[in-house]
Structure 1
Amino acid sequence: MGISSDATAAFDAAERAMWEGRAAAYADSFGRLCAHPVDVLLEAAGVTEGTRVLDAGTGTGTAALAALGRGARVCAVDADAGMVAAARERGIDARVAVLPELAFANGEFDAVVGNFVLNHVGRPRAALAELRRVLKPGGRIALTLWGARRGAGQELLGRACAEGGAVPPAHLPRLDPAEDFPRTPEGLAKLLAEAGFTDEGATEHTWNHRTTVEEWWGGAAGGVATVGLVVTSQDARTVVRIRRAYERLSAEYADGEGRLALPHVAILAAGTA
């Protein structure tokens, strides 16, 4: 697969460190958010009874579990051992693997799904090439991606960090610009085409994530994702300021029933090997 650049190696190392030990915090917060597109993801990949499916970047196994519920035969991989352990506890055949290196035969799967995995790999083109390799001819791939257009709810924690005076740490994952691509439906569809997929296409998927003030804060306070790294790297006084700003700003999204309705936007793409 070639030798990674220093920037890519640094990105991948930062990603591994960011998720290590955070499976439980993820499952209790952002994991619920990422579960929203799973059904449309499986539909786009053509997952039905008997389909041999690879769930790449399974996290705690939500998409894999949903595929099993459709009668599919599922194998799941994730780069984080804690996530793999959590998926296995749910009865999923999961193992540790880091894209773009997969220990599967050519054409082993009928379908591949990747729910927000492409945001977290340092070599997205190489990752797609590897996912295409393990797909049989005519097999389907379906991916979700956090794109350039963000819903208002996606900005809530970032706004709170800015108002609280947070200083981003130097160790945030930063993708090598040479590896990046336009984070738009058109940009992701083009990336699939460059990887050799046909019938490729991508659309935006929008929804309101319903959560509570405490649950949504719990992910950031637990160090989950980039915003979690920002929050947990601040001194105690700054964290207090961020929390106060967050509580005030979150009122904008109150649904009148004691919960928040946070608008989110993601990209859903699919193609044929």
Structure 2
Amino acid sequence: MITSGATAAFDAAERAMWAGRARAYEASFGRLCAHPVPRLLDAARVAADTKVLDVGTGTGTAARAARERDARVRAVDADPDMVARARLHGIAAEVAVLPELPFLDGEFDAVVGNFVLNHVGRPRAALTELRRVLRPGGRIALTLWGTRRGAGQDLLGRACAAGGAVPPAYLPRLDPAEDFPRTPDRLAALLAEAGFDAPRAAELEWDHRAGAEEWWGGAAGGIATIGLVLGAQDAGTVVRIRAEYDRLCAEFARDGEGRLALPHVALLARATARPPLSRRPG
């Protein structure tokens, strides 16, 4: 399979970014990413005896929720540490990297991917592979961080900019030829192009509740792109960023337990599979 140099660099940067950070992710941004899971499973109509694949499972949040519905669950993630963490929670997880999955054509009734599409260098090829492993008429449901962002999503980035952070050159950058507008209409169109029927996508909005230290701790632990940015700064710049962060936190309402209410926006898409491509893992 031929990939561009930009795609290979993106995928390598993503692997490096998440390596060894499963525990830190679970304790911080993992709670954020768990919020859409019930609606994700509903969109894929995951119920008792549904044979479901959770792709990009991370620490297994969506897979565990599907198991609680008495579904028959398999899970994959590109990062071995994430897979190990999911297995600790009793999930049948294995290492696999989109767009190559070790499953037969039409093996699953449903596929769910919670923010996985943000982290693959070839999103169109990834969707084609997910169609392949779904039976005809099987359901796919995906969440995606989109173009429109909530104020909570920008808090750490604003603090970095105000504190004088210089983004490192090794941040993951998707090949422009692989990119697409992160809007509901374009995400639905991408699913149609990949061979899915009746694609629909819409925005989800919610306030993520997190303590100021918890939210800072995700970035300080190297989680996601913002963690790479923060980790690349010298000690003096980090001190300035933290001061700006503390100042900006005052903009956000706090609940009775002192947690910030951080507005977030994401996309949720669903579709059904046409007959999959005739290809088996080699």
Is residue 255–residue 261 contact of structure 2 (8 Å, CA) maintained in 1? Answer: no
Partner of 1:54: 53
In structure 2, C-alpha distance between the alignment counterparts of 1:235 and 1:187, rounded to whole Å: 39
Give the TM-score normalised by structure 2.
0.96
The structural deviation recorded for 1:254 is 3.0
Q: Kindly provide the CA deviation profile for residues 164-192 of structure 1, in whole angstroms up to 9, marking residues without a partner as x.
A: 00000000000000000110001100000
Partner of 1:220: 219
**1:261 is matched by which residue type in structure 2?**
A
The structural deviation recorded for 1:256 is 4.4
Task: State the 4+ residue runs in structure 1 displaced beyond 4 angstroms.
Answer: none
Partner of 2:161: 162
Give the TM-score normalised by structure 1.
0.99
The structural deviation recorded for 1:251 is 1.3
In structure 1, C-alpha distance between the alignment counterparts of 2:253 and 2:168, rounded to whole Å: 31
**2:189 is matched by which residue type in structure 1?**
K
- Provide the secondary structure at the position in 2 that maps to 1:252: coil
- Provide the secondary structure at the position in 2 that maps to 1:271: strand
Partner of 1:266: 266
In structure 1, C-alpha distance between the alignment counterparts of 2:130 and 2:195, rounded to whole Å: 11
Partner of 2:105: 106
Q: Does 1:196 align with 2:195?
A: yes
Partner of 1:63: 62
Partner of 2:36: 37
Alignment of 1:115-126 (within 5 A): 115-126=114-125
**2:213 is matched by which residue type in structure 1?**
E
Partner of 2:276: none
- Provide the secondary structure at the position in 1 that maps to 2:101: coil
Q: Kindly provide the CA deviation profile for residues 94-142 of structure 1, in whole angstroms up to 9, marking residues without a partner as x.
A: 0000000001000000000000000000000000000000000010000
In structure 1, C-alpha distance between the alignment counterparts of 2:199 and 2:212, rounded to whole Å: 38
Equivalenced residue count is 272
The structural deviation recorded for 1:255 is 1.6
In structure 1, C-alpha distance between the alignment counterparts of 2:122 and 2:249, rounded to whole Å: 35
- Provide the secondary structure at the position in 2 that maps to 1:71: coil
In structure 1, C-alpha distance between the alignment counterparts of 2:184 and 2:145, rounded to whole Å: 10
In structure 1, C-alpha distance between the alignment counterparts of 2:51 and 2:187, rounded to whole Å: 24
- Provide the secondary structure at the position in 1 that maps to 2:177: helix
Q: What runs of 5+ residues in structure 1 fail to find an aligned partner?
A: none
Partner of 1:139: 138
**Aligned CA-pair RMSD:** 0.5
In structure 1, C-alpha distance between the alignment counterparts of 2:234 and 2:24, rounded to whole Å: 21
**2:262 is matched by which residue type in structure 1?**
L
**1:271 is matched by which residue type in structure 2?**
A
**1:143 is matched by which residue type in structure 2?**
L
Q: Kindly provide the CA deviation profile for residues 227-261 of structure 1, in whole angstroms up to 9, marking residues without a partner as x.
A: 00000110000001111100110111132421100
Higher alpha-carbon deviation: 142-151 or 245-254: 245-254
**1:197 is matched by which residue type in structure 2?**
F
